[in-house]
Amino acid sequence: MSDQLAELEAAVLERAAKITTRADLEMLRTEVLGRKGGALSRAMSGLAKLPPAEKAEYGRRVNETKRAIEAALDAALARIEKTEIQGDLARTYDTTFPGNTPRSGGLHVLRQTLDDVVDFFRSRGFAVVLGPEVETEYYAFEAVNIPADHPARDNMDTFYLPNGSLLRPHTSSMQVRALKSNPPPIAILAPGRVYRRDALDASHSFMFHQIEGLHVDRGVNFGHLKGFAADLCRHLFGADRRTRFRPSYFQFTEPSAEVDVSCGVCAGRGCQTCKGTGWLEMGGSGMVHPNVLRASGYDPEGFSGWAFGLGTDRIAMLRHDIHDIRTFFENDPRFLEQFA
């Protein structure tokens, strides 16, 4: 058996001296020194068949063979590495040739817009809360004053799941969740994806992003809402932008108003972008409806609050003069790299 070890050692040393690549060297190492099926492991398995008097000598011979093989493999690796380094040093490079600029990523324009809104409200003490995208009918509709027979559900038709839950049609469901979970005063911002069964076109999508704001405390009035809305518009669009409130109707606020911002293209004089009105629609707002406060366990005689809902996609379209909501989700680098 010692003759077999000598033959194995000689064969491995000869092969190692001729190897020129790392892959071939690793293959030889596995073939000889591998724990399962390696030539040296098979040689060690014969130790059990030897008489006790011969085992110690054979074990010593196996270890010597292993050390010799490992040294030969290490020498081969050092030789290969040296050859690789010499090859790299022998190459010539034109240092005057322009290099390849690495492509760097960036935040999506919708995330940039959301971060701007979040920064504004966090600086004023608002907490950011996230809610489930799969909601119950209670929080999505009934708790925000939209009972089962209310026609407003037609405008917020969403996707229903087999268990009776649904994909939330708005982040307004976070109003009652936050009010039930926290004692007053409440000042939150609830961003997230929402879903509606809208046909996909330049201004509508079955999935879009919304930001819900809520402030409830004693003595909160509509003037506070107007001040926040005006400051937010100036923060997002510039100090020279003006806001206006148009009376409107929403199920979860009373009174309710649409918030408009003056057109930045024509400075409010009227153009194609604003359809000649001088104003661009931002979103809906109003004072929290007493029924919503009652559903949350608040006494509307003692507490009041304002709420608003803005579309993140809508804000980004207004800020960057984007005319098709579908471009946000098409992953076209020509569009996305403009905001990187």
Is 300 within a domain?
A: yes
> Structure pTM?
0.66
User: What total number of domains does the chain contain?
Assistant: 2
For residue 96, being part of any structural domain is answered with no
Q: Mean pLDDT, to the nearest integer, of 147-167?
A: 84
For residue range 10-56, list pLDDT tens digits in order. 888 888 888 888 888 888 888 888 877 677 777 777 666 777 777 77
- Whether the pLDDT of residue 127 is over 90: the answer is yes
Query: Is residue 83 located within the same domain as residue 182?
Result: no
Alpha-carbon distance of 273 to 124, in angstroms, equals 32
Tell me whether residue 306 is in a domain.
Answer: yes
For residue 108 the two structure tokens come to: 């999506």
Q: Is 181 part of any domain?
A: yes
Q: Which residue range forms the structural domain that includes residue 61?
A: 2-90
For 170-225, write each residue's pLDDT tens digit.
999 898 999 988 888 999 999 999 999 888 888 889 999 999 999 999 999 999 99
Asked if 63 and 174 sit in the same domain, the reply is no
Measure the CA–CA gap between 242 and 113, rounded to whole angstroms. Answer: 19
Q: Are 259 and 134 found together in one domain?
A: yes
Nearest CA-CA partner of 215 in 182, 188, 176: 188
Place of tokens 């108003």: 257
77 pLDDT above the threshold of 70: yes
102 falls within a domain: no
- For the segment 269-278, the average pLDDT, to the nearest whole number, is 82
* Residues 42 and 164 grouped into a single domain: no
pLDDT at residue 272 tops 80:
no
Say whether both 224 and 78 belong to one domain.
no
Give a yes or no: residue 101 inside a domain: no
Q: How far is CA 108 from the centre of its chain?
A: 10
- Are 117 and 33 contained in the same domain? no
